[in-house]
Chain A
């Protein structure tokens, strides 16, 4: 294992040394390729920044141009929310009143759930 590692390191050492002696044409072509890659990277960065900025810009632009419509939408939303909150509160109030009626009645609450009691009440209430 140690031998393998030593042989590999010796081989790689020679190969590494050889890469520094590449032909000028090849190193120039590699430099050009690198420059192209860096340009492509910069272009991509610009596009990404432009995309992020573009979204915010278009949102602000839309609100600015449609300020009347935006205000109307906001007002409608406020009215709708107020209506829903009121409905919620009214329902709770009605439920509370029902419970209070049952508790305050002379009859026990079980009597209202009994079917026969309703029949008896109707019969006895007839003149």
Chain B
């Protein structure tokens, strides 16, 4: 059984990535924070007695399920909103974001043009990730960002290893195409990319 300290260390290690991953899926910071918080609590309350080695996969499964619950609730809410409101949804978060809107001007304090270019690249990548189909994005993030192997990713996603490979391959190709459209080729990625 994991100790409180082990749980705390694990959550501290994954919370930022979990937040960003959720933002890419739901496109709303506050909703993403709520989802991550829910997932953390569920992990602690329901699976706190599991070994700390099992936490990464359990947490990812919980996070994905919590996101799905969010989408279900949103679907029902949107249905009622559409039925009863003649104005429809004015929520800007539902619309596709312009990558330039996501740029963080606060980074200018670091000065160099390279920093700005980097921020632009990240914004474009984040926008491209948001455009991916949900399963492809999920597979890409788990496999490459969470650094899970194919079997672990398949277990976390509840699908076969073959599906994971297909999703990952399609995701990378789709991302490469989307980035290419914005003028970011493999070389630019290589120049600005940071090896983990």
A interface residues, Cβ below 8 angstroms from B: 3-4, 6-22, 26-27, 29-30, 33-34, 36-38, 40-42, 44-45, 48
A11-B44 CB under 8 A given contacts A22-B19, A37-B11, A48-B49 = no
Residues of B near A10 (CB, < 8 A) are 186, 189-190, 192-193
Q: Cβ of B99 < 8 Å from any Cβ of A?
A: no
Residue among A7, A16, A33, A45 making CB contact with B36, cutoff 8 Å: A33
B interface residues, Cβ below 8 angstroms from A: 1-2, 4, 7-8, 11-12, 15-17, 19-20, 29, 33, 36-37, 40-41, 43-45, 48-49, 104, 107, 118, 121-122, 125-126, 129, 140, 143-145, 168-169, 172-173, 175-176, 186, 189-190, 192-196
Q: Are A40 and B44 in contact (CB under 8 A)?
A: yes
Q: Are A40 and B41 in contact (CB under 8 A)?
A: yes
Q: What is the CA–CA distance of A28 and B2 in the complex, to the nearest angstrom?
A: 24
A38-B7 CB under 8 A given contacts A30-B36, A45-B48 = yes
Q: Tell me whether chain A's interface is mostly helix, strand or loop, or mixed.
A: helix
Q: Are A19 and B125 in contact (CB under 8 A)?
A: no
Residue of B nearest to A30 (CB): B15
